[in-house]
Amino acid sequence: MSKIDKIPRQDMPEQDPKVRSANFDEVPLGYTKEQAMLEAKRCIQCKKPLCITGCPVDVDIPGFIRLIAEGDFIGAALKLKETNALPAICGRVCPQEDQCEAVCVLGKKGEPVAIGRLERFAADYERESGNIMIPAVALPTGKKVAVVGAGPAGLTIAGDLVKVGHDVTVFEALHKAGGVLIYGIPEFRLPKSIVDAEVNYLEKLGVKIVVNAAIGRIKTVDELFEEGFDAVFLGVGAGAPVFMNIPGENLSGIYSANEYLTRSNLMKAYRFPEYDTPIVRGKNVVVIGGGNVAMDSVRTALRLGADNAYIIYRRTEIEMPARAEEVHHAKEEGVQFRLLTNPIEYTGDENGWVTGMKCIRMELGEPDESGRRRPVPVKDSEFVIDVDTVVVAVGAMANPLVASTTPGLEINRWDYIVANEETGETSRKGVYAGGDIVTGSATVILAMGAGRNSARAIDEYLKK
């Protein structure tokens, strides 16, 4: 056995669970230089690297890892940025365990190389060095592209298109660019200063970002063309909350995850009253759902001072769509999991504030169309949980604002925009779409991948 095999996968230091469950600082603290180089040396530099095939944006993974192993951290960051516009973000929020690390050869017998942690390290090193290289962009093509939505898809395509010389303007409805990275993912998982730095980098590349501009209201897609844009990319996300439509769901104290997280993250309600936007600091908080958004919500509730923070999920932990790491972190911090449980009704007090959540126990039956075993209610198993705050995190759907104001844009029966998987082409000439508004709720990196693909397609379209 070679010497390299003996280096164990390097753990990343983390804040102590007891301490971190009371603050909003980032949980993992990042590798030191030594740890990063050690971890990088575990990579055996495969001739045919499978990890790249696992990456939606084709990062040259062995390439950047080799540079880390050699101590050229800035070089590693630049290598990452050749194909990934947002490496500091991806290093934190990508589900590497299902992508690059899932196919890493080392994972067959032992543990895969910690690709995500290394990506984060290189990007952080470059940002913290204050020495961020702004690559030269191509000569102006004279073509104008409008990007609707400043989330992961929109930011990626904006970066790609500005580099090849197009004039790119991003329109964002909220007052801050970043989309889900800003309003959805909490500070303790993705510090907002990192998102700001990435947006800042794009602006330095020449991307124009217009905030407070809700396309569909202030301007339609057709009006963008009239104004002289040659192509439009719609990356507006699946921004509408899903409620369960059960009795009592509009009682005070019941939030959609979108609202709860937007208040805390975008509006910084966790720092109320320094910031003006309030949020209910519940003592008994239930979050319904088993995805990353549910984990983000329940961990936020703990940090806002909940005595009891519960996850209620109708299936078991195996079926939970959340990343294993998020579930693990939530458990460490003291989140209580009530699995195979589903809410059926809320009760409230005389002021209309939620006080109780009636639940029913579930059991797993036959697999459904998603391949997961369908949860079915257990007869006569109802019980009540005392609650003062509830967060409904059972999914999101399309916000129809743009599609409904764009004649001729084909949508499917769930209001998602119909777009070519490879190129993002829609039924309207010159209009492309990608990210959650096409696929339904997915991940940051898949949205970025869609942005990347559409960037290529739009560039080709504009060259015609």
Partner 1 sequence: MTIDAPQIATKREAGQFVVIMTDEKGERIPLTIVDSDKDAGTVTIIFQVVGKTTMCLAAMKEGEDLFAVLGPLGTPTEMEKFGTTVVVGGGVGIGVAYPIIKALQEAGNKVIAIIGARTKDILILEDEIREICDRLIVATDDGSYGVHGFVTNVLQDLIESGEVINRVFAIGPVPMMKFLCEVTRPYKIKTIVSLNPIMVDATGMCGACRVAVGGKTKFACVDGPEFDGHDVDFDLLTNRLRMYNGEEEEARKGCRCHE
Residue 240 contacts partner 1 per CB under 8 A? yes
Select the span of 124-132, 209-217, 301-309, 310-318 touching partner 1 (CB under 8 A): 209-217
Half-sphere exposure of 286 (CA within 13 A, CB side): 25
Q: Which is nearer to partner 1, 37 or 417 (CB)?
A: 417
Quick check: 178 binds partner 1 (CB under 8 A)? no
From 10, 258, 265, 342, residue interacting with partner 1 (rule: CB under 8 A): 258
Is residue 249 a contact point for partner 1 (CB under 8 A)? yes
Which residue, 162 or 396, is less far from partner 1 as judged by CB?
Answer: 396
354-367 vs 373-377, strand pairing mode:
antiparallel
Q: Least separation, in Å, of the C-beta of 241 and partner 1?
A: 5
Number of residues interacting with partner 1: please give it, by CB under 8 A.
Answer: 43
Residue 369 within binding range of partner 1, rule CB under 8 A: no
Name which of 83 and 277 has its Cβ closer to partner 1: 277
Beta bridge partners of 14: 28
Which stretch in 2-10, 191-199, 321-329, 396-404 sits in contact with partner 1 by CB under 8 A?
396-404
Of the residues 259, 317, 319, 363, which one makes contact with partner 1 according to CB under 8 A: 259
**For partner 1, the closer CB: 36 or 437:** 437
Contact 397, 418 (CB under 8 A): no
Q: What's the CA gap between 366 and 386, in Å, rounded?
A: 32
Cα–Cα distance for residue pair 120/100, rounded to 1 Å: 14
The minimum distance between CB 266 and partner 1, in angstroms, equals 8
Is 401 an interacting residue with respect to partner 1 (CB under 8 A)? yes
Residue 275 engages partner 1 in binding (rule: CB under 8 A)? yes
Applying CB under 8 A, which of residues 214, 246, 344, 442 lies at the interface with partner 1?
A: 214
Please report whether residue 250 would count as binding partner 1 according to CB under 8 A.
yes
As given in the structure block, the two tokens for residue 114 are 């910690």
217 lines the binding site for partner 1 (CB under 8 A): yes
Residue number, 272 or 337, with CB nearest to partner 1: 272
Residue with smaller CB distance to partner 1, 128 or 226:
226
Q: Determine, following the binding rule CB under 8 A, whether residue 50 of this chain makes contact with partner 1.
A: no
Q: Under rule CB under 8 A, which residues in 119-148 are in contact with partner 1? A: none
Nearest to partner 1 of 77, 396 (CB atom): 396
Decide: is 244 part of the binding site for partner 1 (CB under 8 A): no
The residue with tokens 């990196």 is: 445
Nearer to partner 1, 97 or 415 (CB): 415
d(Cα 324, Cα 332) in Å, to the nearest integer?
A: 12
Under rule CB under 8 A, residue 13 binds partner 1: no
Burial of 464 (C-beta count, 10 Å sphere; 0-12/13-18/19+): exposed
Find the part of the chain contacting partner 1 (CB under 8 A) among 41-49, 169-177, 315-323, 362-370.
Answer: 169-177
Full 3-state SS string of the chain: CCCHHHCCCCCCCECCHHHHCCCCCCCECCCCHHHHHHHHCCCCCCCCCHHHHCCCCCCCHHHHHHHHHCCCHHHHHHHHHHHCCCHHHHHHHCCHHHCCHHHCCHHHHCCCCCHHHHHHHHHHHHHHHCCCCCCCCCCCCCCEEEEECCCHHHHHHHHHHHHCCCEEEEECCCCCCCCHHHHCCCCCCCCHHHHHHHHHHHHHHCCEEECCCCECCCECHHHHHHCCCCEEEECCCCCEECCCCCCCCCCECEEEHHHHHHHHHHCCHHHCCCCCCCCCCCCEEEEECCCHHHHHHHHHHHHCCCCEEEEECCCCHHHCCCCHHHHHHHHHHCCEEECCEEEEEEEECCCCEEEEEEEEEEEEEEECCCCCEEEEECCCCCEEEECCEEEECCCEECCCCCHHHCCCCCECCCCCECCCCCCCECCCCCEEECCHHHHCCCCHHHHHHHHHHHHHHHHHHHHC
Report the DSSP beta bridge partners of residue 411: 417
Of the pair 83, 405, the CB lying nearest partner 1 is at: 405
Asked if 7 is part of the footprint of partner 1 (rule: CB under 8 A), the reply reads no
> Which region, judged by CB under 8 A, interacts with partner 1, from 151-159, 187-195, 250-258, 285-293?
250-258
Contact status: 283 vs partner 1 (CB under 8 A): no
What's the closest the beta carbon of residue 273 comes to partner 1, in angstroms?
A: 5
Give yes or no for residue 219 binding partner 1 (CB under 8 A): yes
335 lies in the binding site for partner 1 (CB under 8 A): no
Judged by CB, which is closer to partner 1: 241, or 430? 241
Is residue 414 part of the contact set for partner 1 (CB under 8 A)? no
280 binds partner 1 (CB under 8 A): yes
Applying CB under 8 A, does 175 fall inside the site for partner 1? Answer: yes
Query: Which residues lie near partner 1 (CB under 8 A)?
Result: 173-175, 183, 211-214, 217-219, 239-241, 243, 245, 249-253, 255-256, 258-259, 262-263, 267-268, 272-278, 280, 351-353, 399-401
